[in-house]
Amino acid sequence: MKKTTTRLADGRELIYYDLRDDAVRGERDPRPLDPVATAAEIRHDRLLGDSVAIASHRQARTYHPPADECPLCPSRDGRLSEIPAPDYDVAVFENRFPSLAGDSGRCEVVCFTPDHDASFADLTEEQAALVLEAWTDRTAELSQLPGVEQVFCFENRGAEIGVTLGHPHGQIYAYPFVTPRTARMLTSVAAHREATGGNLFDETVADELADGRRIVLEGEHWVVFVPYAAHWPYEVHLYPKRRVPDLLALDDAARTEFPQIYLEVLRRFDRIFAGRGGGSGAVPGGGSGERADTARTPYIAAWHQAPLRAEHRGDFALHLELFTIRRTSGKLKFLAGSESGMNVFINDVPPEAAADRLREVASE
């Protein structure tokens, strides 16, 4: 892997991650861009104890552009984009419309492939491994920024999720605080340790393995399961079998196996609703093979890493949570009164049934 760091016309950082060590990245961004002006600030909710990012400048962000105006495609044929190169493997750059900026953190965009009509599930294992390297490297770099407390790598896919750019990409947020969801996990883990002396993450994984009904996929170094109290209709958690706090701590064996496991899970997600009313329809721009025959399931994929300065940081378990808001073909799971008003989820799909379906659609 070769890493090349450069700057866009407005001063934002751009990093290329290339599979080939002899890749040369000398392209200049010729666009006449004004410096990025942000209005991001963090406000604290005294009653709930959490933080809210106020970012009014995001109202002007690019919204569902046509494919030939995609800002995440390479710059080709006289059309300029956020990536000056005519091709790339993986590219990461500072978001032009960040939710967090300056003393309030940092937001980056991760472009998984130059192929506008592809998806993460279409990547080769080598390409997926490169994305993992990029996530890991950015976690290391962002962790060194002053004031950053937690690094969050994630992907939103599908218009139903709220994605405004169709190009396959994810994001990385460097928060200046510990997120509420992580804080709740840490509280539960600390209480369990004090009561039993054990690690709640370890016991959760062990209990799922012993039960077996919700196991979707198991490798030598990773296990994938639908959680016992899944919030979403189809939700899986991916854990390395050796507990580590973050991406940096994964060993070579886990890194090697991850692309095999993750790509298979993503491809199963795209088959959940296939043959059940058409799901989201044919893949735009799809050619021959699986891409053309598969309905794309909208999803969120979220890496959970330990906060940088958490007490008993080593007790935290790195894991990835993948879920879809679609509950059946043509029907979405909306966060209505109970979920949005009281944060009490109501799941229409039993976790055991979701696990059965995800095993049923395994690759041959």
Residues contributing to the annotated binding site: 70, 73, 116, 167
CA-wise closest residue to 50 among 152, 189, 183, 222? 183
Which residues are known binding-site members for Zn(2+)? Answer: 70, 73, 116, 167
Chain mean position to CA 93: 16
CA-wise closest residue to 333 among 295, 296, 294, 299? 299
Q: Is 63 in contact with 164 (CB distance < 8 Å)?
A: yes
Cross-strand bridge partners of residue 153: 172
Chain mean position to CA 296: 16
Environment class of residue 268 by beta-carbon count within 10 Å: exposed (0-12), middle (13-18) or buried (19+)? buried
Is residue 285 left, alpha or beta, with left meaning phi > 0 and alpha meaning psi from -120 to 50? left
CA-wise closest residue to 123 among 154, 147, 100, 89? 89
Phi, psi of 271 (to 5 degrees): -105, -5
Environment class of residue 33 by beta-carbon count within 10 Å: exposed (0-12), middle (13-18) or buried (19+)? middle
Report CA torsion sign: 236, 338, 160, 132: negative
DSSP structure string for 168-206? SEEEEEEESS--HHHHHHHHHHHHHHHHHSS-HHHHHHH
Out of 44, 64, 169, 312, the active site residue is 169
153: helix, coil or strand?
A: strand
Task: Verify whether residue 169 is a known catalytic residue.
Answer: yes
Environment class of residue 42 by beta-carbon count within 10 Å: exposed (0-12), middle (13-18) or buried (19+)? middle
Active site residues: 169
